[in-house]
Structure 1
Amino acid sequence: MTAPDGQAAAGRSQPGPAPLRVAVLGSGVVGTEVVRLLVTQAADLAARVGAPLELVGVAVRDLAADRDPVVDRALLTTDAAELVTRADVVVEVMGGIEPARSLLLSAIAHGAAVVTANKALLAQDGPTLYAAADAAQVDLYFEAAVAGAIPIVRPVRESLVGDRVLRVLGILNGTTNYVLDRMATEGLDLDAAVAEAQSLGYAEADPTADVEGYDAAAKAAILASLAFHTRVSIDDVDREGISSVTADDVAWAERTGYVIKLLAIAERQGDGIQVRVHPALVPVAHPLAGVRGAFNAVFVEAEAAGELMFYGRGAGGAPTASAVLGDVVSVARHRVLGGRGPVESSYAALPVLPASAARTRYQIRLDVTDRPGVLAQVATTLGDRGVSIEAIRQVPELPGAQGRDGVALLIITTHEASEEALAGTVAAIAELDSVRRVISVLRVEGA
């Protein structure tokens, strides 16, 4: 007896959703970990997305290079331009400006959603990518571009979109944080600490991007753009690295109750915003002071939410791949279920103010002649230029100093002042006959 048509149909298995094709551009440390997660967690990822994720290719420069066995050599290709035309989701972890920009624009033009960890590209030419993605009605996600595994892009871009962000203050470069931490805990000088970071794989053979603050500046530009709904490029960021920080600076920071950190700061200043990266003294009681080793942390101050802190591993293959896969799942869900993620929000178009507009507190260390009236002379010079003193301390003898009779160390902490006022004040102080040398000028943040 033949079963009714309805029963026959019910007995047949229904086809599942079509796989989503994923292409990965780059197979370095991060790219390899992205592939590993796509392969080893395939079943879980399919359940979360609602469809399987099919890895269709991995673009590399050299097919013959040694690879982790998790990367199937049959998927390797040097033709990245062709690969992006046959993917639903393109993951870019190759870095650099070109060919990454052209490849992502091509992927978008062919209808692919894009996930990138490329902070340099976003900080230099993010608006071009945003506009292309918006015109093509596809997603552009970039959680991994800032602070590795720490979920900071999504909270600023989405969770706080109904609030008014006042300030973002963060340690966004794990290499420099490791270097400064080793200088503080072990008394190493900068070169020795950088060499140690290189031996551990935290710093590149050429550490310039980290030590001179370029990496942190790119991330600061991205966060400022999101937080203040304003286009901010890396060229808008006032940048100073840690190359001038000495072991003596680090030691005196500890003696005066501070820790030196390379900070990225984006904040409202009147009707504009000011974005900068520089070493700063952070009070030991502040949460950022306790961020050790190669970890990152971001402190966000919002009008309604108040103070929020995000902390975790800011670099490394596995942590960064975790952020990439989170984005992959999000954009893939949109492909399956419909809808899109957030688009660029630059409606505020606030002016980005110059470095001279920044206002903060400062600690100035001076090598002075130890004689009556020196304190009054320096204090008068500060007051004449509108820089108010919060605290002043004179140390008659420097620890371990030899042959320095008649010389003292003067440590001045100011109230908040503008960068412009401070620069003029320091120049005037340096001209005083009682001042032998301006040893250092460091900003004080988070107090």
Structure 2
Amino acid sequence: MAVKIAFIGFGGVGQALLQILLDKEKELRQEEGLETSIVAVADVMKGSVYNPGGLDGNQLLKLASEKRSMEEYDGGPGTVTGLDSLAAIKETNADVIVEVTYTDVKTGQPAVDHCRAAFQAGKSVITTNKGPVAVAYDELSTLAEEKGVFWGFEGTVMSGTPALRLPQETLRGNTIEQITGILNGTTNYMLTEMEKGLTYEQALEQAQNNGYAEADPTSDVEGYDARYKAVILSSVIMKTPLKADDVKCTGITGVTRDMLTDAIERGKRIRLVAKIKRTSEGVEAEVKPKELDVSDQLAGVPGATNAILYECDLAGPIFLTGAGAGLKETGFSLLIDLIHFERRRSMVKQ
């Protein structure tokens, strides 16, 4: 039976997932037993459309690419338009809500309300929004468990690189004593470009031109993005909830080209590093620029790439690196969660 999906938010990431589902339809059906039907799209800017019998994915992507409203969808009888996001969650026949709205990471809204509404309606959620996991992990994970639904958020830390799935599944049985990582591609790109001779301002402008940094880069350069990812890693992997304010945070705005050059001359590299560590009093976390020996695995991570190092009591150090951004990569993170939803659903049926 096909998984019925409602997209709440239909920007680049949501469209990337839909394109993947279309491109890999045959492989997913044959290899994973995953069949999907898009039944609803609700986007605050693009409008909404719902048909319980399914929507044509190619037509949805065409409307989006032409910057036309979803309400121009040509669906014939049974097609409904005008639903807001909460109605699209509660009043449609979707099994899974793909929550990819623009969300304020400080409050987690509107994604927190969307997740809560979905779980209360007995529907599963997959999302790439950091906010709900960083702000309301305990509440939402408890609610999802009580309602017997799936909550997937693989893409919240390192996009399509499985920074959460790896320790949760492949490294099970280990106690992870410490996690260190380069969790923000924008700042890593800027630092590596400054090592080549650019000033901070030039590196930032180049990052913005390349699409790595927003017009307002504050969240990246002040370390806030990495801080929220550290909160997620502590809550999900260390099983110790932290608030953003618990994580000491220093960004890269004070790092100069001369500081980077001096570090290189001494066999060092400066990287913005997040560290989450178990202590006798619980878990401590911080984000700050750190001098690393050139032999350190994190020191050699180039450009917009992310990396994470798990210190395990049984397996020892496990190092994972990959893309931390990108529409296709982030769309893939949603696919990871969708596949695991289907696997869990299949097990329940058995």
Band of TM-score, shorter chain? 0.7 to 0.9
Q: Structure 1 runs of 4+ off > 6 angstroms?
A: 69-72
Distance, in Å, in 2 between the alignment partners of 1:276 and 1:63 is 39
- The equivalent position to 1:29 in structure 2, one of 12, 34, 37, is 12
Structure 1 contact 125–233 (Cα < 8 Å) conserved: no
**Is 1:289 aligned to residue 299 of structure 2?**
yes
Q: CA deviation at 1:272?
A: 2.2
Following TM superposition, by how much is the alpha carbon of 1:99 offset from its aligned partner in structure 2, in angstroms? 1.8
Question: Which of these residues, 132, 140, 144, is aligned with residue 129 of structure 1?
Answer: 140
Paired-residue identity, %: 35
Amino acid at match of 1:314: G
Quote the offset at 1:208 in angstroms: 0.3
CA distance in 2, matches of 1:310, 1:77: 44
**Pair 101,226 (structure 1): closer, same or farther in 2 beyond 3 Å:** closer
- Equivalence for 1:440: none
What are structure 1's unaligned runs of at least 5 residues?
1-17, 341-447
Cα distance, 1:336 vs structure 2: 3.3
Counterpart of 1:408 in structure 2 is none
Q: Distance in 2 between matches of 1:38 and 1:154?
A: 21
Give the alignment partner of residue 85 of structure 2, picking from 80, 84, 98. Answer: 80
**Shift in CA distance, 77/165, structure 1 to aligned 2, threshold 3 Å:** farther
1:41 CA drift (Å): 1.9
Q: Which amino acid aligns with 1:44?
A: E
Looking at structure 2, the residues matched to 112 and 48 of structure 1 have their Cα atoms a distance apart, in angstroms, of 25
Could you tell me which residue of structure 1 aligns to residue 25 of structure 2? 42
Aligned length: 322
Amino acid at match of 2:95: D
Distance 1:339 1:124, change over 3 A: farther
**Unpaired segments of 5 or more residues in structure 2?**
48-61, 76-80
> Displacement, 1:57?
1.6
**Structure showing greater relative contact order (alpha-carbon pairs closer than 8 Å, 6 or more residues apart):** 2
1:251 aligns with 261
Distance 2:279 2:349 in 1: 36
SS at match of 2:275: strand
Shift in CA distance, 141/171, structure 1 to aligned 2, threshold 3 Å: same
Deviation at 1:239, TM superposition (A): 0.9
Amino acid aligned to 2:138: P
Distance in 1 between residues matched to 2:82 and 2:24, nearest whole Å = 23
Counterpart amino acid of residue 5 in structure 2: V
Separation of aligned partners in 2, 1:66 and 1:252: 52
Q: Counterpart of 1:92?
A: 99
Question: TM-score, normalising length from structure 2?
Answer: 0.86
> 1:285–1:44: structure 2 CA closer, same or farther, 3 Å change rule?
same
Distance 1:47 1:240, change over 3 A: same
TM-score normalized with structure 1 length? 0.68
Q: CA deviation at 1:271?
A: 3.7
Query: What's the CA shift for 1:250?
Result: 0.8
Q: Determine helix, strand or coil for the equivalent of 1:267.
A: strand
Which residue matches 1:330? 340
Do the aligned partners of 2:240 and 2:282 also contact (CA within 8 Å) in 1? no
**Paired residues of 2:34 and 2:339 also in contact (CA < 8 A):** no
Does the 8 Å CA contact 1:300/1:307 hold for their aligned counterparts? Answer: yes
Partner of 2:65: 68
Counterpart residue identity of residue 165, structure 1: I
Classify 1:52/1:77 alpha carbon distance in 2 versus 1 (closer, same or farther; 3 Å): farther
* Maintained 8 Å contact 1:36/1:71: no
Offset at 1:46?
Answer: 2.8
Instruction: Please point out which of 202, 212, 219 is paired with 1:202.
Output: 212
Change (3 A) 1:302 1:204: same
Quote the Cα distance in structure 2 between the aligned partners of 1:319 and 1:72: 26
Q: How far apart in 2 are the matches of 1:211 and 1:324?
A: 26
Distance in 2 (alpha carbons) for counterparts of 1:53 and 1:322: 15
Asked if structure 2 preserves the Cα contact closer than 8 Å seen for 1:50 and 1:336, the reply is no
Deviations 1:232-281 (A, max 9, x none): 23222111111111111111111111111001100122342210101101
Amino acid at match of 1:102: D
Partner of 2:36: 53
Q: Matched residues in 1 for 2:349 and 2:243: separation?
A: 29
Checking the alignment, whether the CA contact within 8 Å between 1:63 and 1:78 is kept in structure 2 is no
Tell me, in whole angstroms, the C-alpha distance in 2 between the residues paired with 1:221 and 1:281.
23
Is the 8 Å Cα contact of residues 182 and 271 (structure 2) preserved in structure 1?
Answer: yes
Cα drift, residue 209 of structure 1: 0.5
Distance in 1, matches of 2:68 and 2:162, equals 27
Letter in 2 for 1:82: A
Partner of 1:350: none
Residues 125 and 150 of structure 2 are in contact (CA less than 8 Å); yes or no, is this contact kept in structure 1?
yes
Shift of 1:67: 2.0
- 1:101 CA displacement: 1.1
CA contact (8 A) 1:183 1:247 kept: yes
Change (3 A) 1:79 1:47: farther
